[in-house]
Amino acid sequence: MKLIKRLAISATAFVAAIGFTFGGEAFAASANKVVIAGSTALLPLTQQAAKEYKKVDPKVSVTVSGSSSIAGPQSVLKGSATIGAIDWDPTEAVPGFKAFSGLVAHKVAVIPFATVVNKNNPVTNLTSKQLQDIYAGKIKNWKEVGGKDAEIVVVNRKHGSGTRVNYQMKALDGKEFMTKGDNYKEVGKSGEMVSAVGTNPNAIGYVDLAYVKGDIKSVSFNGVAATTDNVIKGKYKVWGYGYLVTKGKPTGASAKFIAYMQSSKFQNGSLKKLKFIPISQMK
């Protein structure tokens, strides 16, 4: 009988440490474990917050991964993550996606998005109409928008990307993307977008400001530079809120981690350094 009790206690401890399976779905059950999945736009932010939070509470394990925004709420509902990162409020419908039920969304950042080209591209500004035509495949050569005589390589994010949702709604005024073509390609993550544009002098794409560095540069939108200051002043319109989502009201380590990301210390410290904007500055 004592042996059975010891085995039962050991099994309970093991389940609490790694999660449990019910109905074919894995659930992160540990009170000291935070698992974050979803947005790659928010990935630099969630990774930095995880690094800092481990110093605040060393007993808590924080794991962060990024694939696309849609994976955030999906992972939380499946139970493979305790927190989902997403670039739109999943409790509300947006073009291409219905609202998710059973989730609670927590604003953690303002995300400025930028149109990007290779650093050697002479183009410095594009209008909303020009971007609509480029992404629809109507404008095909850079010389049509003040650049060199070279075919434009259009790089888009795959369906499910929150950056794509925001860019389509705000930079393209909701106009549709082209879906195929010799000079059209889709990438899955923000880092892949950076690589695709940075290695091709004729490419165009879009990312959030945290990724604009190295071999890519941002171009102005309707004559307004993509900067955090211009977003705050209301001059630059291509931005959105970043959210962490939980299944119901967050508890334990997940609640504390979200509170840390929303704290004044983090919002006015690392968040600003990474070219995000504190949520308090857009109220």
Kind of pairing, strands 83-86 and 239-247?
antiparallel
In contact, 276 and 111? CB cutoff 8 Å: yes
20: phi then psi, degrees, rounded to nearest 5: -140, 165
Structure tokens at 239: 């931005």
**pLDDT for the residue numbered 95:** 87
Domain ranges of the chain: 2-110+242-282, 112-232
Q: What percent of the chain has pLDDT over 90?
A: 87
d(CA 27, CA 81): 7
2-110+242-282 and 112-232 have identical folds: yes
Give 238-260 pLDDT, tens digit per residue.
999 999 999 999 999 999 999 99
**pLDDT for the residue numbered 283:** 67
Q: Which fold has domain 2-110+242-282?
A: D-Maltodextrin-Binding Protein; domain 2 (3.40.190)
- Which amino acid belongs to residue 158? K
**pLDDT for the residue numbered 25:** 33
**pLDDT for the residue numbered 122:** 98
3-state SS, residue 266: helix
**pLDDT for the residue numbered 52:** 98
d(CA 252, CA 33): 9
d(CA 63, CA 86): 16
- Which amino acid belongs to residue 246? T
Task: Give, for 18, the enclosing helix (H) or strand (E).
Answer: helix 2-18
Structure tokens at 117: 């080209």
Low-confidence ranges of the chain (pLDDT < 70): 1-30, 283
CATH among 3.40.190.10, 2.40.50.140, 3.40.50.300, 3.40.605.10 for 112-232: 3.40.190.10
**Triad 162, 167, 173: Cα angle to 5°:** 130
d(CA 207, CA 116): 7
Structure tokens at 198: 């940075």
**pLDDT for the residue numbered 31:** 73
In contact, 9 and 56? CB cutoff 8 Å: no
d(CA 208, CA 48): 16
**pLDDT for the residue numbered 143:** 98
**pLDDT for the residue numbered 124:** 98
Structure tokens at 132: 């609509």
